[in-house]
Amino acid sequence: MVAARADSFALAPADLQALRFTLLQASLSAAVSSLLAIPVARALFRRRFPLRGALISLLAAPFVLPVVVAVMGLLTVFGRGGPINTGLAWFGLPEVSIFGLHGIVLANVFFNLPLATRMLLHGWQAIPAERFRLAQSLGLPPSAQFRHLEAPMLRARLPGIFAVILLICLASFAIALMLGGGPKASTLELAIYQSLRFEFDLGRAALLAAVQFALCAAITLAAARLTLPQGFGAGLSRHLQISAPNGWRRALDIIAVIVAAVFLFAPLLAVVIKGLPGLTTLPNGLWPAALRSVSVAIVSAVLATSAALILANGAAHSKSRMIELAAMLPLAASSLVLGTGLFLLVRPFIAPENLALAITILVNATLTLPYLFRLLLPEARQLQADYGRLTESLGLPRRTILRFVTLPRLARPLGYGAGLAAALSMGDLGVIALFAGDGGATLPLFVQHLIGAYRLQQAAAAALILVALSFVLFWAFDRLGSHYADA
């Protein structure tokens, strides 16, 4: 649909510049996020400290945080008059601007460092505790443990993590909208938005969307080659106490955790401080919007998780890579591209606002599918490697395998994945903006309308409720998964 509307195939110099900038900001953001996640995830894996569990749960917060709200928080902390610049001025140093490339990278890292950390932490936890016990009983120093146990895990997981973040950053429309701008810091998505909203140049928008899609598709294809099966063998899921090294490694771990925590929570705190006073005067229409958002989030999370589980299981059983490609395909499309396409598709037949929620559910489920799939695939492969023969030799029917083997063994990543999907869907502001009519808004759109009307206090308060609801949804699903895994 998008391709059909592209009349001309020549890119203007401004569009080429946008393409270059898109690639630059995305690869910088992905590299910084994945590399910084290594020390943080390792510290969280091997150290036990008060509030560790809470910190790990909260690591999902920035990713769960609706972009509008998060950028507001970052602006408060890093923007003009924020504590960082006030501190710099205090030392007589020049002011740092949050706008432009480094602002976009900062925001992307803010969103994706926690994601990378959680994904790596799952990787660390997937190394059976027995291996660490064996390594320590052999007296392997931390460096040798790293080489033999952790490095192979990192080699297996990092490329996939990098690719996922790269794709997220390629399509980080809202961040670029708020922190980019101008010919030097414009991304492809921003250019699509501008040509649709302000120039009504459907042909150019379609061409740019096609370029965006091709770019993401190429990276998706490359990424599909990146997950390698891991041969750590099975552990008996014993609860083992693993001792962690002391000395400078301990200091490094402490620093990693503290820096990450401050970087991630200062902006959240800023939003809370701004929004709390407004909670006493909540605007009309907030609760119906919240109800719509929660319903959309739950349905699309269940939809996406079921689909991802089916696909991951299928991919784990078959040698063909077709399923993997199919599951990763939605990564190539962004909310904006899909939304524009669907909008053009349904408009001739039915008023788009009548389908707003159904299409939002569908698009959100489709867009979160690749993340869930990537999360589940290594675990599904491991499960197949460990227990595939046993289930086969016992002749267990599919339903039994699903209920007694797959669901309990994968409960943790499934719960986490469903929580992620629900929260993403909750905070999404892409498709709904194109489709919603009056009185059909979801909560993020409602917040955006408030901001547009300069009712900032109310906007912040509504944002706070949006954040709280997203987080409760995520927490509930994640908790459900952990509960079943421990049972």
Partner 1 sequence: MLTLENLVLTQDEFRLTADWKVQAGERVALIGPSGAGKSTLLMALAGFFAPAAGSILWQGADLAEVAPGDRPLTILFQDQNLFPHLTLAQNLGLGLSPTLRLTQAQTTQIETALLRVGLAGMQARKPGQLSGGQQGRAALARALLRARPVLLLDEPFAALGPALKAEMLELLDEVATATGAAVLMVTHDPNDAKHFADKTVLVADGVAQAPVATAELFADPPPALHDYLG
Pairwise CA distance, residues 100 & 117, whole Å: 26
Work out which of 344, 405, 456, 472 binds partner 1, going by CB under 8 A. 405
Pairwise CA distance, residues 76 & 379, whole Å: 39
Structure tokens at 59: 């690591």
Could you tell me which stretch among 63-71, 352-360, 390-398, 414-422 binds partner 1 (CB under 8 A)?
A: 390-398
Could you tell me which stretch among 173-181, 185-193, 259-267, 394-402 binds partner 1 (CB under 8 A)?
A: 394-402
Residues 6+ apart with CB under 8 A from 92: none
SS3 at position 199: coil
Q: What is the footprint of partner 1 within residues 195-214 (CB under 8 A)?
A: none
SS3 at position 181: strand
Which amino acid is present at 63? F
Judged by beta carbon, residue 332 or residue 401, the one nearer partner 1 is 401
Judged by beta carbon, residue 186 or residue 382, the one nearer partner 1 is 382
Q: Give burial (CB, 10 Å; 0-12/13-18/19+) of 417.
A: buried
Judged by beta carbon, residue 183 or residue 233, the one nearer partner 1 is 233
Structure tokens at 64: 């769960």
Number of neighbouring beta carbons within 10 Å of residue 87: 10
| Least Cβ distance, residue 485 to partner 1 (angstroms) | 8
Judged by beta carbon, residue 16 or residue 394, the one nearer partner 1 is 394
Write down how long the chain is.
487
Compute the half-sphere exposure of residue 8: CA atoms within 13 Å on the CB side of its CA.
9
Please tell me whether residue 395 binds partner 1 under the rule CB under 8 A: yes
Q: What is the footprint of partner 1 within residues 227-286 (CB under 8 A)?
A: 234-238
Could you tell me which stretch among 45-53, 308-316, 384-392, 445-453 binds partner 1 (CB under 8 A)?
A: 384-392
Pairwise CA distance, residues 367 & 424, whole Å: 9
Pairwise CA distance, residues 261 & 52, whole Å: 11
At which residue do the structure tokens 């770019």 appear? 215
Judged by beta carbon, residue 128 or residue 267, the one nearer partner 1 is 128
| Least Cβ distance, residue 381 to partner 1 (angstroms) | 15
Which amino acid is present at 16? L
Judged by beta carbon, residue 97 or residue 237, the one nearer partner 1 is 237
| Least Cβ distance, residue 399 to partner 1 (angstroms) | 7
Judged by beta carbon, residue 292 or residue 381, the one nearer partner 1 is 381
Size of the site for partner 1 (CB under 8 A): 23
Please tell me whether residue 394 binds partner 1 under the rule CB under 8 A: yes
Work out which of 6, 217, 221, 396 binds partner 1, going by CB under 8 A. 396
Please tell me whether residue 97 binds partner 1 under the rule CB under 8 A: no
Residues 6+ apart with CB under 8 A from 192: 205, 208, 209, 212, 336, 337, 340
Give the binding site for partner 1 (CB under 8 A).
234-238, 386-387, 389-390, 392-397, 399-400, 403-405, 408-409, 485
